[in-house]
Structure 1
């Protein structure tokens, strides 16, 4: 063994596994998929390739040290040690989901199926694992830093976001809140607020800019459409579908949250208000009447091995 540090392999269920859980048997899942005109073999092939990748990576890791296999759904409750080495077996979303639960531990991102997954955040393939792990355990690895957003509330709740934070209604209804950025504040009614990091600037944030640009034709879209650096010290917030009324305004609908700056939102909703990050809707903070959420740049950065 190179070292006694624990190696955490993070995986997620394949689409086939999720279908089997939903429909109880593979036969039922196959009937449903083929009834809709899709090829069930595509799901089987993906599942087979991913399972083989897990077995290969797991075997290599066991030769190097103690290994903990961790499924995506357990990330929110798992306590990582400061010297853990974390290995994520793609896709990109799983990397983002994992980074926000770490506190500076190096993360090795592996693309299990390069022919199916683009892998923007997955610089390595399965065959690289032994060499990459050796460089990490010997502290010779290159690191790409990833900025994160941090949310805290007056009730003591907190969460981090690698891509973006959503603050708004649990369902397709309007959110009521007070927004405050710097010295400016106003009452708003909208379908929610998105706060994006540099890494998230090519995702949800980009689609919001595209829609806004199509309506307003503002030049800012061209400046930001290619995204920001992953370690950018700026966050951007956007208000989705703001509604003007006698008591709600639409002036603070887009802006930058620079270092040392905060965005504050105070809920005016009796119920169904939530805050979640990076699409993890099953790990939310409640955002109901009286709750004030403060969003700022996190002091800790994610460390992606490259």
Structure 2
């Protein structure tokens, strides 16, 4: 009888290096080198990255093959791959590959491995290839802790759905003006903007933070200019500025949410108020009992994509309604 460990399948997710992508585009390494060096870049860095990553893949295959049945999977095949219920997934980073794999799993444990710690910081990559020998058998025996991650989900009224680990983007493919109706907790609003971003707790320090930091900076500067024009010199416009900066700092600190935070947050990018559109419902919380509903008014190029992967999207054109809420599943990262 086979042991419980041997009954588990291990899926190793790998990606193309920058060098491999260049070779796909320019056919040969020599032509890729000519292109890079003509632009004044250091081609040896591409070679070094490729060599280190290939060695990491080889070492990972050796370690994982000793732990159980192994299947190697390229990044581009992840969206269409059917993961088994008892599979253990190992991702050979960077962070983006972890996020873009996690959303296709159904709570299988994911191990993030940093292939080159000298090059990548790896917030989601706590392990190295050398850790796999001891780590994977422990994961297969359910002896390692996992950290749960809240996911976002966009569901269309035609039944299609898409998950997001960090965020969802709803708007036009080219990021130009998008038209839609927004509904939250009974409040409806017609809007025109450059898109909506919905962020999870994990994504709160990413796209969401940058959008809110930009908005806070604009408000702070506008307040300073207004103070300079409306307040006398003795009143000290610096006082107004420092107060705004303080509020900006406090709001920025509050953005760092737990990865399993029970709510999502949405922001509307560059909302444009007009005779037919408003800009009041531009930031808010989405909970399990209060989803965000968006009805597209875009005749073409309307899309919903997640985690920055524009090639994997849902079409979101006129008449289609999307319900944005918490996913029924959670990601599980091994720690």
The CA distance in 2 between the partners of 1:297 and 1:204, in whole Å, is 18
Name 2:321's counterpart in structure 1. Answer: 292
- Say which structure is richer in helix: 2
The CA distance in 2 between the partners of 1:15 and 1:173, in whole Å, is 29
Aligned residues of 1:210 and 1:221 also touching (Cα < 8 A): no
**Pairs within 5 Å for 1:65-84:** 65-84=68-87
Name 2:266's counterpart in structure 1. Answer: 237
Name 2:189's counterpart in structure 1. Answer: 186
Q: Secondary structure, in 3 states, of the residue corresponding to 2:105?
A: coil
The CA distance in 1 between the partners of 2:326 and 2:202, in whole Å, is 13
**Pairs within 5 Å for 1:72-111:** 72-111=75-114
1:51 aligns with 2:54: yes
Please give the per-residue CA displacement for 1:263-292, whole angstroms capped at 9, x wherever unaligned.
Answer: 010000111000000112111000000000
Residue 3 of structure 1 deviates from its aligned partner by 2.0
Name 1:164's counterpart in structure 2. Answer: 167
Which of 232, 240, 247 is 2:276 aligned to? Answer: 247
The CA distance in 2 between the partners of 1:192 and 1:142, in whole Å, is 37
Name 2:232's counterpart in structure 1. Answer: none
- Between stretches 255-264 and 212-221, larger displacement belongs to 212-221
Larger radius of gyration: 2
The CA distance in 2 between the partners of 1:234 and 1:65, in whole Å, is 37
The CA distance in 2 between the partners of 1:161 and 1:194, in whole Å, is 11
Aligned residues of 1:178 and 1:267 also touching (Cα < 8 A): yes
TM-score (norm 2): 0.89
Q: Secondary structure, in 3 states, of the residue corresponding to 2:189?
A: strand
The CA distance in 2 between the partners of 1:52 and 1:88, in whole Å, is 15
Aligned residues of 2:268 and 2:283 also touching (Cα < 8 A): yes
The CA distance in 2 between the partners of 1:121 and 1:173, in whole Å, is 32
Which of 118, 122, 127 is 1:124 aligned to? Answer: 127
Which of 196, 199, 210 is 1:196 aligned to? Answer: 199
Aligned residues of 1:209 and 1:221 also touching (Cα < 8 A): no
Task: Give the alignment's Cα RMSD to 1 decimal.
Answer: 1.2
Residue 39 of structure 1 deviates from its aligned partner by 0.3
Please give the per-residue CA displacement for 1:69-111, whole angstroms capped at 9, x wherever unaligned.
Answer: 1111111100011100000001000000000000110001100
Q: Secondary structure, in 3 states, of the residue corresponding to 1:105?
A: coil
Tell me the number of residue pairs that the alignment of Structure 1 and Structure 2 aligns: 306
Residue 137 of structure 1 deviates from its aligned partner by 1.0
1:149 aligns with 2:178: no
Aligned residues of 1:152 and 1:294 also touching (Cα < 8 A): yes
Residue 220 of structure 1 deviates from its aligned partner by 6.1
The CA distance in 1 between the partners of 2:252 and 2:200, in whole Å, is 12
Name 1:274's counterpart in structure 2. Answer: 303
Residue 66 of structure 1 deviates from its aligned partner by 1.2
Residue 178 of structure 1 deviates from its aligned partner by 0.2
Please give the per-residue CA displacement for 1:175-203, whole angstroms capped at 9, x wherever unaligned.
Answer: 00000111111000011000000001111
Aligned residues of 2:164 and 2:307 also touching (Cα < 8 A): yes
Residue 257 of structure 1 deviates from its aligned partner by 1.1
1:303 aligns with 2:332: yes
Gaps of 5+ in 1: none
The CA distance in 1 between the partners of 2:51 and 2:86, in whole Å, is 32
The CA distance in 1 between the partners of 2:299 and 2:249, in whole Å, is 35
Name 1:16's counterpart in structure 2. Answer: 19
Residue 221 of structure 1 deviates from its aligned partner by 5.9
